[in-house]
């Protein structure tokens, strides 16, 4: 009986290993084949990239493992916090920059005080950040300053991190060219993406090792959403 049980376990175990390795080989974790079939635009994109694919795949599985962990920024860090509340709805929104933040701020303002919002003749689109109606009214930088926050529903909107990065770089550094007015923005790299990625990663490492005060424009737009 025992032997049959052992055999059964051995078969199940082997089957699991096979299924697992097939999953990785053919269905692609970090595999660009999926991308290719999905959309002709992205297939052209990966052709143009000319990555040494096998090497890239192997390395990507090594990233942030074992000794390589030291080269990576940690997934969670205590970072600046922005909350917008709506008392009538028992809601707290955690606002993350470059992730629907202006619109969410407007929505939370509307939910905070519908009457004033309507009377001000604003719409959710027109309640732009610099002139927002609820400035300092439903806004907090610490959870514990919100009365009865334990009884409220807290939520955050997150975005695909690559989308967020591309959107931020395109919007601020390529289109708006914020570095024209403020030299140090976009990490003083103007439109140079290579330079920007390198410098921002260094900045993240620096912050992770020794969290500093005075988080600047680049930091708040490009530091990870999980911080």
Burial of residue 201 (CB within 10 Å: 0-12, 13-18, 19+) is middle
Give the shortest CB-43-to-ligand NAG separation in angstroms.
Answer: 10
Total residues interacting with ligand NAG, rule: CB under 6 A: 8
Supply the minimum distance, in Å, between the C-beta of residue 4 and ligand NAG: 51
Q: What is the layout of strands, in order, in the sheet containing 91-94?
A: 139-140, 83-86, 91-94, 153-156
The only residue of 195, 201, 217, 224 in contact with ligand NAG, by rule CB under 6 A: 195
Segment contacting ligand NAG (CB under 6 A): 55-63, 72-80, 164-172, 189-197?
A: 189-197
Q: How far is the CB of 121 from ligand NAG (least distance, A)?
A: 4
For 63, the token pair is 């990233």
DSSP 156: E
Q: Which is nearer to ligand NAG, 121 or 141 (CB)?
A: 121
Site map (CB under 6 A) of ligand NAG, residues 14-43, x = contact: -------------------------x-x--
Long-range contacts of the stretch 204-211 (C-beta < 8 A, 24+): 204/73, 205/73, 207/77, 208/73, 208/74, 208/77, 211/77, 211/78, 211/79
> From CA 121, how far away is CA 118, in angstroms rounded?
5
Instruction: State yes or no: residue 192 binds ligand NAG (CB under 6 A).
Output: yes
DSSP state of 64: T
Name residues contacting ligand NAG, limited to 103-142 (CB under 6 A): 120-121
Site for ligand NAG contains 167 (CB under 6 A): no
> Per rule CB under 6 A, is residue 90 in the interface with ligand NAG?
no
Among the listed ranges 55-63, 161-169, 179-187, 188-196, the one in contact with ligand NAG (CB under 6 A) is 188-196
The binding site for ligand NAG (CB under 6 A) comprises 39, 41, 120-121, 192, 194-195, 198
């Amino acid at each position: 009986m025992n032997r049959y049980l052992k055999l059964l376990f051995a078969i199940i175990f082997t089957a699991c290993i096979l299924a697992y390795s097939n999953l990785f080989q053919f269905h692609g974790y970090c595999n660009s084949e999926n991308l290719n079939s999905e959309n002709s635009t992205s297939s052209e994109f990966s052709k143009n990239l000319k990555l040494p694919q096998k090497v890239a795949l192997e390395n990507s599985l090594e990233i942030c493992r074992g000794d390589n962990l030291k080269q990576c920024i940690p997934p969670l860090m205590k970072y600046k916090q922005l909350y917008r509340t709506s008392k009538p709805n028992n809601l707290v929104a955690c606002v993350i920059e470059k992730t629907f933040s202006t619109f969410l701020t407007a929505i939370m303002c509307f939910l905070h005080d519908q009457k004033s919002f309507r009377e001000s003749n604003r719409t959710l689109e027109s309640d732009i950040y610099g002139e927002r109606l609820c400035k300092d009214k439903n806004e907090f930088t610490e959870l514990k300053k919100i009365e009865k926050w334990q009884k409220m529903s807290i939520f955050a909107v997150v975005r695909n991190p690559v989308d967020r990065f591309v959107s931020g770089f395109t919007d601020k550094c390529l289109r708006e060219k914020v570095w024209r007015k403020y030299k140090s923005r976009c990490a003083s790299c103007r439109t140079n993406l290579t330079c920007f990625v390198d410098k921002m990663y260094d900045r993240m490492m620096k912050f992770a090792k020794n969290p500093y005060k005075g988080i600047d424009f680049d930091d708040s737009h490009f530091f990870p959403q999980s911080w």
